[in-house]
Every structure is written in C-alpha cells, then in structure tokens.
C-alpha cells in the first residue's frame, strides 16, 4: 500500500483524487490532504508518505517552492497536477527532481499512467524515510540526478531498435507510460535538441553509415532507416548532408 499526500487548497479536488486512486485498488491510498505548504511539510515530518501530489492550479510558484522545501529533506516521489503546459515550468520542475508533471487538462488515463510509472520506479528503487538530497545544488546536477533520468536513455534505446519503423514521441510516451508533453520538454532539456531533430539525426547518420559500409541499394537503406517514400528520404538526406545519397556514395568511391 502506497500512502499519498495531496497538497491542494481546493478541498473539492480531494474527492476527484480519491476516485482516481481507488481505481488502483490496494496500490495507492490518500492518507492526508494539506491545504498549504506549511501543513504539508508538517505532515511529511510526522509520518512517511510514498507519493506527494501537488496541485499547481492555485499558484505554480508556491507549488515549485514546496518542491524545493521537500527536496531539502526527502527523495519522496512528487507528481505535479494542473497548471499551464509551459516549457519553463517543466524545466523548473526538473530542477526539483519531480517525477512527473501533468498540465491541464489532466485526463484519468494520463493520471493512471503517471501512477504506474511512479510505482515502477519505487519498486525498482524503494523509497524509505526522509533521505537527504545530496545533489540539491546546481541545475546541471539536479537534471542529471532526476528520478526519471533513465527515461531518456530508454527513449534513445527504443529509437535505435525501431529506426526502421514509423516512430513518434507520442507512441513512445504511451509505451513507457510517460506524459507526452513532459517527455518532449525533458528530452529537449537533456539532449539540447527536440525529439524530431534527434530522430532525423539518427536516421541520417545510420543512412550515411550504410552508404559507406554496405552495398545496399539506396531504396533499401531508406527502408532501413524508416522511410517508405523515396522522394522524402532523398530530400531529407540532401538537406542534412548537402548532397544526394547517390552523390554521397560516389564521392566516397572516388576518394577511397
């Protein structure tokens, strides 16, 4: 049984959260409800909770400040609920090692997927008690130590394995039970490029490798890196390298 602390000044929100948690039967239970940050910190000090849900609807700034206060004392998983779907807000959430951020509108499906992700992370690395957070210093340290840091590695590994298929970040977010908007923002923060830019880079680099090291036909290479439309592959390859795929290979033969 995972004990949940809800931080939300709106007491009516408690019933909605309780219904969502009840869908998970014995996995999650709403143990406490705090209306303000001071009350939440007092409850966290008095007893252990395995998950903290913080509403961002009333004040995003206060919600982030509470994340900071919690992270000074504890590694307990945090999920932010509501608020704007804004890149800067997600970036600040990364700093405080927030496990997930569900901007409005929050659907029951997104909420359920987020809980499953948190549960899986807790099962892999169980949280117990009030453990200090040694990395609560710079943004770089916080970003590298974020509890869900492994998700980006998983996304990149998936891309490598499925490069020949039609890949979208939305599909990947469903596979790994991660919020689509948050995953896209997190990917850009960590990789310094969007997911689409990364996907194009991986496809073009593999195409270059195959042109350099195999006798595969260009159309076979295009299929191997996920392109069924040859015209689209030719266009993307030329934009990326500055030359056509055929010329790229011929240049290698001439210079060999």
pLDDT in tens, 210-235: 999 999 999 999 999 999 999 999 99
Predicted confidence at residue 4, as pLDDT, reads 92
DSSP state letter for 137: S
Residue range 144-163, pLDDT digits in tens: 444 444 788 889 988 998 99
Q: Residues in the chain with pLDDT < 70?
A: 24-26, 85-88, 125-149, 253-256
Residue 161 CB partners (closer than 8 Å, separation 6+): none
Predicted confidence at residue 85, as pLDDT, reads 64
Q: What is the pTM of this model?
A: 0.55
For residues 13 and 34, the answer to whether their CB atoms sit within 8 Å is no
Strand partners, 112: none
DSSP 34-95: ESSHHHHHHHHHHS--SEEEEE-SS-HHHHHHHHHHHHTT----EEEESS---HHHHHHHHH
Lookup: tokens for 119? 């549960």
Rounded Cα–Cα distance for residues 126 and 175 (Å): 23
Rounded Cα–Cα distance for residues 213 and 40 (Å): 60
Burial class (CB in 10 A: 0-12, 13-18, 19+), 116: middle
């Amino acid at each position: 049984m995972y004990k949940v602390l809800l931080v939300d000044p709106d007491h009516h929100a408690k019933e909605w959260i309780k219904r969502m948690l009840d869908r998970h039967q014995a996995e999650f239970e709403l143990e406490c409800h705090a209306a303000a940050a001071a009350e939440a910190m007092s409850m966290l000090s008095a007893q252990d909770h395995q998950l903290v849900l913080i509403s961002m609807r009333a004040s995003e700034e206060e919600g982030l400040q509470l994340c900071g206060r919690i992270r000074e004392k504890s590694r307990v998983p945090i999920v932010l609920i509501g608020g704007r779907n804004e890149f800067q807000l997600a970036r600040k959430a990364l700093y405080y090692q927030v496990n997930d951020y569900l901007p409005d509108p929050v659907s029951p499906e997104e909420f359920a997927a987020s809980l499953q992700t948190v549960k899986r992370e807790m099962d892999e690395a169980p949280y117990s008690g009030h453990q200090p957070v040694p990395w609560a210093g710079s943004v770089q340290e916080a970003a590298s130590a974020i509890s869900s840091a492994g998700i980006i590695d998983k996304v990149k590994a998936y891309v490598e394995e499925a490069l020949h298929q039609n890949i979208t970040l939305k599909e990947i977010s469903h596979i790994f039970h991660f919020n689509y908007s948050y995953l896209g923002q997190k990917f850009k923060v960590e990789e310094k490029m969007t997911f689409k830019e990364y996907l194009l880079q991986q496809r073009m680099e593999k195409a270059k490798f195959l042109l350099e090291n195999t006798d595969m036909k260009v159309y076979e290479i295009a299929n191997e890196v996920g392109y069924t439309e040859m015209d689209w592959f030719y266009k993307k390859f030329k934009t990326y390298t500055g030359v056509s795929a055929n010329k790229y290979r011929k240049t290698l033969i001439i210079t060999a």
